[in-house]
């Protein structure tokens, strides 16, 4: 039987143009051993690389406005949200979905991820606004495999430890027996991505076992089932950061959903890295 021990590593908030690899090296020195798994938050890397969109500058289409007003408020706020076992607080928020900023967000989701992803209630196609200020949202990495290899190589060269680097997203992968599927585009090999909103609803309605999604692995041969175990452990160790959703983040700072600043985010603990270590019994 294999057990795992996880240690979430606190760092400063990675702003755009941050040398995130240097930050990773400094944070891991003296803490890792060869054979460890280092799970890196995709969003933290995406933010450091400036892979973001300022939605305040987006002009929403008529379709995006209709999606915000009717699809989000009426469909997600009532039948879909109830079928997907959403809590009452989230249902209330969806029923009062913001029309202006929500329309802009749906326009970005359609433009970058397509309609099936835009019909999701959040994190459409890996697009996410939590842990980001103002009207910014992060975009998914297009080259997560290359970035994982760069990080793994730099750790090996500078810290002299052979570790396995996993880049992961909090968007969920669902398990049906030995079949792993997710609405999130571009997961690691062995996880199937399709269907967008349909896949999400099926996974939630039938309450399939779920885990955070591994996107890329470097430094070891890792099967999807073990990678999902590791990312799930890392996600629990890391916690929600400033908030699991933009609503939670805004509530934490007692501002509206577009009122969180860079300074506010810089004052809280951020854990973009988690060391996961095997313990053989």
Q: What is the CATH number of the domain that holds 274?
A: 3.30.1330.100
Strand pairing category for 179-182 and 164-176: antiparallel
> Does the pLDDT of residue 244 top 80, yes or no?
no
Q: Is the pLDDT of residue 253 over 80?
A: yes
Are residues 248 and 153 part of one domain? yes
Same domain, 122 and 40: no
Q: Percent of the chain scored above 70 by pLDDT?
A: 98
Same domain, 274 and 175: yes
Please check whether residues 203 and 228 belong to one and the same domain: yes
Q: At residue 241, does pLDDT exceed 90?
A: no
Q: Is the pLDDT score of 240 beyond 90?
A: no
Mind listing the pLDDT tens digit for each residue in 104-161?
999 999 999 999 999 999 899 999 998 899 999 999 999 999 999 999 999 999 999 9
pTM of the model: 0.94
Is residue 98 domain-shared with residue 67, that is, in the same domain? yes
pLDDT at 211 > cutoff 90: yes
Work out the mean pLDDT of the chain and round it to a whole number: 95
Of 104, 138, 172, the one marking the end of a domain is: 138
Say whether both 46 and 60 belong to one domain: no
Environment class of 274 (CB within 10 Å of its CB; exposed 0-12, middle 13-18, buried 19+): buried
52 vs 130: CA distance, rounded Å: 12
Residue 279 pairs in a beta bridge with 3
- Residue 130 confidence (pLDDT): 87
Q: Tell me the pLDDT band of 281, cut-offs 50, 70 and 90.
A: low
Compute how many other C-beta atoms are within 10 angstroms of the C-beta atom of residue 56: 12
Alpha-carbon Rg for the chain, nearest whole angstrom, is 19
Q: What is the pLDDT of residue 242?
A: 66
Looking at the structure, tell me whether residues 24 and 103 fall in a common domain. no
Same domain, 223 and 101: no
Domain count, the chain: 2
Whole-number Å distance between alpha carbons of 165 and 41: 11
Among the listed ranges 44-58, 190-204, 211-225, 234-248, which one has the minimum average pLDDT value?
A: 234-248
Per-residue model confidence as pLDDT tens digits over 78-114: 999 999 999 999 999 999 999 999 999 999 999 999 9
Same structural domain, 19 and 124? no
Residues 111 and 163 in one domain: no
- Structural domain boundaries enclosing 64: 53-138
Q: Please check whether residue 276 is in contact with residue 39, taking contact to mean a CB–CB distance below 8 angstroms.
A: yes
My answer on whether 58 and 43 are in the same domain is: no
One domain for residues 264 and 167: yes
Give the bridge partners for 275, in sequence order.
7, 38
**pLDDT above 90 for 73:** yes
- Asked which of 138, 163, 180 is the last residue of a domain, the reply is 138
Among residues 81, 104, 138, the one where a domain terminates is: 138
At which residue do the structure tokens 């968007």 appear? 171
Question: What does the angle CA 230 – CA 243 – CA 225 come to, to the nearest 5 degrees?
Answer: 15
């Amino acid at each position: 039987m294999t057990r795992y021990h996880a240690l979430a590593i606190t760092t400063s908030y990675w702003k755009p143009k941050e040398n995130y690899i240097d930050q990773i090296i400094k944070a891991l020195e003296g803490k890792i051993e060869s054979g460890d798994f280092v799970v890196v938050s995709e969003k933290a890397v995406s933010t450091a690389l400036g892979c973001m969109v300022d939605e305040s500058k987006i002009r929403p289409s008529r379709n995006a406005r209709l999606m915000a007003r009717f699809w989000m408020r009426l469909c997600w706020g009532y039948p879909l949200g109830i079928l997907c076992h959403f809590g009452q607080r989230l249902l209330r928020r969806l029923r009062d979905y913001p029309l202006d900023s929500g329309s802009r967000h749906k326009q970005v989701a359609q433009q970058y991820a397509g309609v099936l992803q835009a019909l999701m209630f959040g994190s459409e196609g890996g697009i996410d606004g939590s842990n980001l200020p103002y009207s910014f949202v992060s975009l998914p990495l297009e080259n997560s495999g290359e970035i994982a290899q760069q990080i793994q190589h730099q750790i090996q060269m500078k810290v002299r430890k052979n570790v396995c680097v996993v880049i992961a997203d909090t968007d969920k992968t669902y398990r049906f027996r030995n079949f792993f599927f997710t609405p999130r585009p571009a997961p690691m090999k062995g996880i199937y991505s399709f269907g967008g909103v349909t896949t999400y609803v099926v996974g939630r309605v039938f309450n399939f076992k779920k885990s955070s999604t591994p996107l890329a692995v470097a430094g070891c041969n890792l099967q999807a089932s073990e990678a999902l175990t590791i990312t799930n452990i890392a996600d629990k160790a890391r916690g929600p950061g400033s908030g699991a959703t933009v609503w939670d983040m805004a509530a934490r700072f007692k501002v509206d959903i577009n009122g969180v600043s860079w300074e506010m985010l810089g004052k809280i603990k951020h854990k973009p890295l988690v060391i996961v270590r095997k313990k053989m019994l």
